[in-house]
Amino acid sequence: MTSPVRLALLGCGTVGSEVVRLLHGQAADLAARIGAPLEIAGIAVRRLGRDRGDLPVDPTLFTTDALGLIKRDDVDVVVEVVGGIEPARGWLVEALRAGKSVVTANKALLAEDGAALHDAAAEGGGDLYYEASVAGAIPLLRPLRESLHGDRINRVTGIVNGTTNFILSAMDATGAGFAEALEEATELGYAEADPTADVEGFDAAAKAAILASLAFHTRVGAADVHREGITEVTAADVASAKAMGCTIKLLCIAARGADAAGREAVSVRVHPAMIPLGHPLASVGDAFNAVFVEAEAAGPLMFYGRGAGGAPTASAVLGDVVAVSRNRLAGVRSPSESAYADLPVRPMGEALTRYHISLDVADRPGVLEAVAGVFARHDVSIATVRQGPAGGGAAGRGEDADLVIVTHVAPDAALAATVGELRGLDIVRSVASVLRVEGGL
């Protein structure tokens, strides 16, 4: 039998411990698929004394010296499931420069400084694989970076954060407010003790950067992504969406388009948006993820599955381990990063979006004209207007009225300026809700 492929496992928490279980449980099949057995050379952790239950692994393999483990001559592949920027970046750059292959689930690092990792991989000649970094178990990055390389991707729209999808789904199902739904998500173990990265959209923004880089052959980092979380989404917003036959989702959207000078560009954003119930992403509930890819020749493609959790994420990690191990045995590496297009990333203000705006206005002659005038001044075209008595009660000429306006597509800056001016009008008592709209309505 060929000599084993030796792995350094960095991290043995939620994902790492499941990687160990799969390596143990599937050892014979993995060896047959690769053509050589996989062997764990060592496992780097933070706390040697931590109780790791019945993990099927030799306890003497654990170490707190991650760098020492990476530098060992008998390590071929480094699997990083620790997370965070440092020390992970230093470890992986060291491993890649030394010619080792790296498998990582670290979306934060890839979005923050993917360039450093890709450059180090090119220098050392090893592979850099990161399927688990976006949408957990869903095979998504491999299709983008291999299967669709003969096509042209125009748009990627995804639900890539399970925690926020659970919260928004709960708000939609029960009418609960954000705080109440977050509490439920925490009790059920979906939300972490500090949910900031999820609810403020940082996690989804990192994933959006990775998806956009692969889809558009362009380096896109976390700083290029416009990010809004879900903390401001109210029960009233959800009710408003329902009244329109829609639901609210935290979307990551990466799209091609032209910039202000007419040059081809991309926009990458993460924000809550209303989508019609008939949209392929509308029925993605609970903590599931789904990504909708629109390609020129292939047309629409939908990827769906579990975006988080130890075993689902470990499945994606192991798939990468098999791929890089096969490459090492064959003496080849996968194609390097494809960033040749180098498209500019345009600012959010230039992204083309649609708004759903709910206003509480004075119910008297001339109000509609004044409101419509604000839209016209900002060159924003109105698609639909619906007016009813304030609070949705019985029809009649009260003092106030609810006015719900949905726009056609316009630059986000023009829509934001429209809302700003509406807020300043005397006849507008309050702007009850502003939501972007995606998909036909």
Q: Distance between CA atoms of 403 and 344, rounded to whole angstroms? A: 38
Site string for ligand NDP, 20-59 (x = CB under 6 A): ------------------------xxxx--x---------
Q: Which residue has the tokens 């994902």?
A: 15
Catalytic residue among 71, 207, 242, 249: 207
- 100 as an active site residue: the answer is no
Q: Which lies closer to ligand HSE via its Cβ, residue 220 or residue 405?
A: 220
214 token code pair: 């692969």
Strands of 130-227, DSSP E: 153-159, 226-227
With CB under 5 to 8 Å by kind, the binding choice for 344 among ligand HSE, ligand NDP, none is: none
17's enclosing H/E stretch is: helix 14-25
Provide CB contacts within 8 A for 348, sequence distance 6+. Answer: 226, 267, 269, 412, 413
Q: Which of residues 388-407 bind ligand NDP (CB under 6 A)?
A: none
Provide CB contacts within 8 A for 434, sequence distance 6+. Answer: 355, 356, 357, 358, 419
Q: Does 191 bind ligand NDP (CB under 6 A)?
A: no
Asked if 438 and 412 touch (Cβ cutoff 8 Å), the reply is no
236's enclosing H/E stretch is: helix 235-243
Q: Does 105 bind ligand NDP (CB under 6 A)?
A: yes
Q: Does 139 bind ligand NDP (CB under 6 A)?
A: no
Q: Distance between CA atoms of 20 and 233, rounded to whole angstroms? A: 39
Site string for ligand NDP, 292-311 (x = CB under 6 A): ----------------xx--
With CB under 5 to 8 Å by kind, the binding choice for 198 among ligand NDP, ligand HSE, none is: ligand HSE
268 token code pair: 């990458």
**CA 15-20-22 angle, 5° bins:** 90
Stretch that binds ligand HSE, among 158-166, 344-352, 358-366, 408-416 (CB under 6 A): 158-166
How far from the centroid of its chain's Cα atoms is residue 61's Cα? Answer: 34
Stretch that binds ligand NDP, among 78-86, 343-351, 356-364, 427-435 (CB under 6 A): 78-86
Task: Tell me if 11 is assigned to a ligand binding site.
Answer: yes
Q: Which lies closer to ligand NDP via its Cβ, residue 13 or residue 349?
A: 13
Binding ligand HSE (rule: CB under 6 A), the pick from 101, 157, 163, 353 is 163
Q: Does 156 bind ligand NDP (CB under 6 A)?
A: no
Q: Does 319 bind ligand NDP (CB under 6 A)?
A: no
The bridge status of strand 5-10 relative to strand 77-80 is parallel
392 token code pair: 């949705």
- Closest residue to ligand NDP, judged by C-beta, is 13
Q: Distance between CA atoms of 177 and 168, rounded to whole angstroms? A: 9
8's enclosing H/E stretch is: strand 5-10
SS3 46: coil
Give the bridge partners for 272, in sequence order. 250
Q: Which of residues 183-202 bind ligand HSE (CB under 6 A)?
A: 198
**What is the nearest approach in angstroms of ligand HSE to the Cβ of residue 211?**
13
**What is the nearest approach in angstroms of ligand NDP to the Cβ of residue 230?**
19
**What is the nearest approach in angstroms of ligand NDP to the Cβ of residue 206?**
9
Task: Tell me if 192 is assigned to a ligand binding site.
Answer: yes
With CB under 5 to 8 Å by kind, the binding choice for 309 among ligand HSE, ligand NDP, none is: ligand NDP
Binding ligand NDP (rule: CB under 6 A), the pick from 66, 110, 284, 435 is 66
181 token code pair: 């739904």
The bridge status of strand 382-389 relative to strand 400-407 is antiparallel
Catalytically active residues are 207
Annotated binding site for L-homoserine: 192
What is the binding site for ligand NDP (CB under 6 A)? Answer: 11-16, 44-47, 50, 66, 81-83, 87, 105-107, 132, 136, 308-309, 313
What is the binding site for ligand HSE (CB under 6 A)? Answer: 136, 161-163, 198, 203, 307-308
